[in-house]
Structure 1
Amino acid sequence: MRTIRSAWHPADGVAVFNRVYLTVTEEIGHAIEAGTFADRRAAATLDVRFAERYLSVVDAVATGRPAPACWRPLFTYRRHPGVRPLQFALAGINAHIGHDLALAVVDSCRALECSPAELEDEFDRVGDVLVLLEERIREELMPGPDLLEIADPLTHLLGCWSLERARDGAWLAARSLWQLRELPDLAEEFSERLDRSVGLVGRMLLTPLAPCG
């Protein structure tokens, strides 16, 4: 993530999310090293599988392949002048939590030969880190009082989305996908519908507002 950061302009919407996510991975890494997670191997596996989902999207787009539906709005609107940095950050978080986290849990369960229930503590602790970071992101990226004409509709728009609700949805999706693992056709359909529904939310979060100036 540090490597790809240098390839993008700081105002690029994907770069905005990448900076946020780099902070997330560093925070989770510190928590793992500090012994916050009871099962360090499980936590590290979930962290790695989670990051791999995002990096695979970056690689796909870089090589001309389409991004998954959940990520497509961010990559499509990444240079739109009417979209604020906070919108870019939360749209990326929405895609990564709402879609990728569920699949990362399933990936981790397969790698560790366990069920989602055995990863619930690690999932919850990762979620706690994300909630704290979301609060920090909102504080740092929300426009100041000199941009109230933008901030008012922005506050209304972003108030429609909650990381905690997205996290709850991801946990339910992970458990559902695990139950469907012996039914690959249904699992694939479920994943595709999850991808599209999360993408719809991302498109809403990236609704262009009045440009600065």
Structure 2
Amino acid sequence: MRAARGWDAAPMGHSVRLTRRPDTVDAVLTRMRSLAATLPERDGIAVFNRVYLTVTEAVGHRLTAGRFTDPHAAATLDVRFAGRYLAAVDAADRGRRPPACWRPLFQLRRHPGVRPLQFALAGVNAHIGHDLALAVVDASLALGCEPEDLESDFDRVGDLLAALEERVREELMPGPDLLQIADPLTHLLSAWSLERARDAAWSSARALWALRRLPDVAEEFAQRLDAAVGFAGRMMLTPLPH
């Protein structure tokens, strides 16, 4: 079936492949920790990687504790999800173009006028706005199930992603004495919602699943989703005065 061509390991329309795709949560954590140890602290990818690593560690702990309805399915979803981010990192490292949703972050990752909070939010936007929907389809194909069979664990992963947004704000947002109402960062924060992005990701996943037997239409849908999320990410990374 032609639809399988673009679902696995890379967004449709892209030839990105991991050098060695992680196949367990532990392998994902090892790769993220390696990135954390090697990237400069102020690098935009490093900023996103730090907060994402914390959430992925939480997923690992909950899997061990049996907090998911189907641990194997939840682990598969988590690994496929993280694999898309790591594939984008590999593409950039090799001088290839990452998916459009990630390009603004890679292009501006060292810009002195972009604040750490912007880097983190742009990464969350790319990963949830684009990668999550395709990861649901990836996992459904790998497990031989329908996306609805993953909904319970999708919601549990979503709760951890909400913790990611909270951690981003706690660690990277300036204190209340520094973040004034006139600060453009205040308006940036109020313009984006992780909850809305997560709901949109689920709707996109269901649409892509329904289109899987129409590969050309599915391809176009995925490419337009990628471009739209990338456009939003570029706006998030507009350099701001300090």
Q: Do they superpose with TM above 0.5?
A: yes
Matched, 1:10 2:45: no
Structure 1 residue 151, shift from structure 2 partner: 7.6
CA distance in structure 2 between the partners assigned to 1:200 and 1:166 by the alignment? 14
CA distance in structure 1 between the partners assigned to 2:65 and 2:168 by the alignment? 23
Moved over 6 A (4+): none
State the match for 1:187 in structure 2. Answer: 218
CA contact (8 A) 1:181 1:187 kept: yes
Residue among 55, 78, 81 paired with 1:50:
81
Residue among 50, 56, 66 paired with 1:25:
56
Structure 1 residue 135, shift from structure 2 partner: 1.2
Q: In the TM superposition, what whole-angstrom CA distance separates every residue of 1:186-208 from its partner, at most 9, and x where no partner exists?
A: 01000000000001111111111
State the match for 2:143 in structure 1. Answer: 112
CA contact (8 A) 2:137 2:205 kept: yes
One-letter amino acid matched to 2:72: R
State the match for 1:136 in structure 2. Answer: 167
RMSD: 1.4
CA distance in structure 2 between the partners assigned to 1:20 and 1:42 by the alignment? 23
**Aligned CA distance change for structure 1 residues 30 and 117 (closer, same or farther; 3 Å):** same
State the match for 1:92 in structure 2. Answer: 123
Q: In the TM superposition, what whole-angstrom CA distance separates every residue of 1:154-198 from its partner, at most 9, and x where no partner exists?
A: 011121000000000100000000001100000100000000000
CA distance in structure 2 between the partners assigned to 1:69 and 1:150 by the alignment? 32
**TM-score of the aligned structures, taking structure 2 as reference length:** 0.84
Matched, 1:59 2:87: no
CA distance in structure 2 between the partners assigned to 1:149 and 1:165 by the alignment? 25
- Could you tell me the percent identity over the aligned residues? 71
CA contact (8 A) 1:142 1:151 kept: no
CA distance in structure 1 between the partners assigned to 2:115 and 2:206 by the alignment? 34
CA contact (8 A) 2:51 2:167 kept: no
CA contact (8 A) 1:71 1:199 kept: yes
One-letter amino acid matched to 1:130: L
CA distance in structure 2 between the partners assigned to 1:151 and 1:62 by the alignment? 38
**TM-score of the aligned structures, taking structure 1 as reference length:** 0.95
Structure 1 residue 149, shift from structure 2 partner: 5.7
One-letter amino acid matched to 1:87: Q
Q: In the TM superposition, what whole-angstrom CA distance separates every residue of 1:95-117 from its partner, at most 9, and x where no partner exists?
A: 00010000100000000000000
State the match for 2:132 in structure 1. Answer: 101
Q: In the TM superposition, what whole-angstrom CA distance separates every residue of 1:51-106 from its partner, at most 9, and x where no partner exists?
A: 11111111111011001110011001111111111110010010000100001000
State the match for 2:227 in structure 1. Answer: 196
One-letter amino acid matched to 1:185: D
CA distance in structure 1 between the partners assigned to 2:182 and 2:67 by the alignment? 36
CA distance in structure 1 between the partners assigned to 2:225 and 2:36 by the alignment? 28
For structure 1, the residue ranges without an aligned partner over 5 or more in a row are none
SS of 1:147 mapped into structure 2: coil
One-letter amino acid matched to 1:6: A
CA distance in structure 2 between the partners assigned to 1:191 and 1:130 by the alignment? 22
